[in-house]
């Protein structure tokens, strides 16, 4: 089993914001595979699953706020008894230009509070991550307001091709979407 966590904030207030690009990517995958998310309150998550290449794939969206993402990740990790090598977290990265994607097998949390919480709760940096760039030229200095702002119409229109490329990167590095 492989588990993909997409990071974001719950609630309609945060839909389609830069900080929720991890949720948006998982929604893209769920739609592509014809599955829906189901609320799992005990796991502090919404989860969708499908089989691909003979392997179960879990798509997990934490229902905690971003800064407490590690609570959900820890609960899912323990409940499903998966190894760190079977986890991948997809999240926004303010230090990558909009449209850039970067896969890493392990690494630090950088400036991302959700990732900091996950590293803390798992007591490890040894899990995969897929960073989706949200940086724009001349971004405002108030990072909190910036990451919680919505994508421009042009950026939003570009997300499908970015998500397609992200899926290819995951296919090459982490998953089998056969």
Cβ atoms of residues 93 and 162 within 8 Å: no
CA distance 65 to 51: 28
Single out the catalytic residue among 19, 33, 112, 141.
19
Q: Is the pLDDT at 6 greater than 80, yes or no? A: yes
Express as a percent the part of the chain with pLDDT over 90: 80
Q: Domain residues of the chain, as ranges?
A: 2-173
Residue 65, SS3?
Answer: coil
Q: What is the 3-state secondary structure (H, E, C) of 74-140?
A: HHHHHHHCCCHHHEEEEEEEEEEECCCEEEECCCCCCCCHHHHHHHHHHCCCCCEEEEEEEECCCCC
Choosing among 3.90.1150.10, 3.40.50.1470, 3.90.1200.10, 1.10.3760.10, the CATH entry for 2-173 is: 3.40.50.1470
CA distance 116 to 114: 5
Q: Is the pLDDT at 178 greater than 80, yes or no? A: no
The two tokens of residue 6 are: 């997409």
> Who has greater pLDDT, 64 or 142?
64
- Catalytic residue list contains 19: yes
Phi, psi of 3 (to 5 degrees): -125, 120
Q: pLDDT tens digit string along 141-176? A: 778 888 999 999 999 999 999 999 999 999 888 976
Express as a percent the part of the chain with pLDDT over 70: 97
């Amino acid at each position: 089993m492989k588990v993909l966590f997409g990071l974001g904030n719950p609630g309609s207030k945060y839909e389609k914001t830069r900080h929720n690009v991890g949720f948006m990517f998982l929604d893209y995958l769920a739609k592509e595979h014809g599955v829906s998310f189901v609320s799992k309150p005990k796991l502090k998550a919404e989860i969708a699953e499908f089989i691909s290449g003979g392997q179960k794939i879990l798509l997990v969206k934490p229902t905690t706020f971003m800064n407490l993402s590690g609570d959900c990740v820890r609960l899912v990790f323990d409940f499903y008894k998966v190894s760190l090598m079977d986890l991948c977290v997809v999240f926004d990265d303010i230090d990558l230009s909009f449209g850039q994607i970067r896969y890493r097998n392990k690494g630090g949390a950088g400036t991302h509070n959700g990732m900091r919480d996950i590293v803390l709760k798992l007591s490890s940096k040894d899990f995969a991550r897929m960073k989706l760039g949200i940086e724009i030229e001349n971004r405002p200095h108030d990072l909190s307001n910036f990451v919680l702002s919505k994508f421009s119409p042009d950026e939003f229109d570009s997300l499908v091709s970015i998500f397609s490329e992200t899926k290819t990167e995951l296919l090459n590095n982490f998953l089998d979407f056969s």
